[in-house]
Amino acid sequence: MEEKVIGEYAEDLEFWGNKLINVNLYLYKDGQSSIINTAVYGRNM
């Protein structure tokens, strides 16, 4: 996959967690899929 994220290739987006928010972004293009995941701490929670 190319090294840029384009919105039209986003297949799914997941958020879960309480104080630590986990995020998964699922991408699909030309028969290839990729998952980008990260975690961030929420503010004022």
pLDDT of residue 23: 96
Q: Where are the domains of the chain?
A: 7-41
**Cα torsion through 29, 14, 24, 31, rounded to 10:** -20
- Per-residue pLDDT of the chain in tens (45 residues, 90 and over written 9): 566 666 788 899 999 998 899 999 999 988 999 999 999 998 876
pLDDT of residue 4: 67
pTM, entire model = 0.73
Token look-up 């998964």 returns 24
pLDDT of residue 3: 67
pLDDT of residue 7: 72
DSSP H/E element including 32: strand 32-41
Which residues 6+ apart lie within 8 Å of 33 measured at CB?
11, 26, 27
The C-alpha atoms of residue 23 and residue 14 are separated, in whole angstroms, by 6
